[in-house]
Amino acid sequence: MDSDIQLANAKVIYSVAPAAGHNQESHPESNLRVPAIVDTLEKLELTPKHRRSEIIELKHFNPASVEDISSVHERAYVLGLEKAMDKASEQGILFIEGSGPTYATASTFRDSLLAAGAGLAVVDAVVAASKKSPEPPSGFALIRPPGHHAVPTGPMGFCVFGNIAVAARYAQRVHGLNRVFIIDFDVHHGNGTHDAFYEDPDIYFLSTHQEGSYPGTGKIHEVGSGQGEGTSLNLPLPGGSGDVAMRTVFDEVIVPSAQRFKPDIILVSAGYDGHVLDHLASLQLTTGTYYMLSAGIKQLAKELCGGRCVFFLEGGYNLKSLSYSVADTFRALLGDPSRASEFDNPAFLYEEPSNRIKQAIQKLKAIHSL
């Protein structure tokens, strides 16, 4: 059977790059994160073994090249990190972000190239499938280290290379998919992606994040500059925002922004640290919220860009809520019903600050003429 046809008949294509060697004792961004997701997918029977042709795991993919990474990051940073690996093997661990929380071990350079490459492989597979089928599978790169904080000049906020930014440039360069729409629903602002494309009219960056959370960027009035004015959208949400807020944001902000932009592909920075059980911030999204977002984004891609849509793992540090939320994302992409109610406990939730949420959304819609 032609492998492209096989791809075209699947519903989900994913790759796994767990970066086992990139780890620091008791750091939240640990090497337990991806294996926890993979174990949960297996336990909940959301793997090729259980779903046969509906789910495909890409096993053999190449690391991204230095050229791929240099489409976003300064070459001096990329080559400097490679050189630093010798020092990392002598010392065991290096802090590579000045005073910041980002670390490197002897395998970080290799692991980071592999994470980015795993994302590019999924983009390739989804694009190939979209040539054979009007309803191609959605993609998910289950990768780390994450990427959305890494700025063009260096690492930041647990992130080494901007996986999604590298994939956006790759989609343009290799596949001629010129208009790329990026949705970042991680609880933190994707400042690295934001900076990479702030002046670019062909890449639309939309981020929802908790107001006042790390790294403090992504203010509502930042809309892009020069040629890129109007193609950056930042929506800081007050702490305590939850499922109701995100449903409103999806319908009133994400959908009309994407419709107006008319993308060729949608890429998603899927961070699961906005979950009520994740202690790195204080939004109260639920597993069900992530199902709703994922199902909605899949539908949006179907309507706007031939179904081309790829998710990239970003944050999410409570291993249980992370794993179950990724599993429910898989269910949404498969067209299966959500099983979030088996995991979510409404007793953890409190009333959302609905007036402040409404004000933020109204202000944003005025700024962006939505």
Instruction: Enumerate the active-site residues.
Output: 149
Q: Is 218 left (phi over 0), alpha (psi -120 to 50) or beta?
A: left
Distance (Å, rounded) from C-alpha 365 to C-alpha 59? 43
Whole-angstrom Cα Rg for the chain: 19
Q: Which residues contact 91 (CB under 8 A, 6 or more apart)?
A: none
Nearest Cα neighbor of 308 from 194, 150, 178 is 178
- Helix/strand/coil for 60: coil
Q: Which two tokens stand for residue 63?
A: 């690391």
Distance (Å, rounded) from C-alpha 223 to C-alpha 218? 9
Distance (Å, rounded) from C-alpha 179 to C-alpha 95? 36
Rounded to 5°, angle at Cα 333 from 308 and 292: 110
- Helix/strand/coil for 55: strand
Q: Which two tokens stand for residue 220?
A: 């509502």
The phi, psi pair for 357, rounded to 5°, reads: -65, -45
- Helix/strand/coil for 255: helix
Distance (Å, rounded) from C-alpha 329 to C-alpha 347? 23
Strand partners, 265: 180
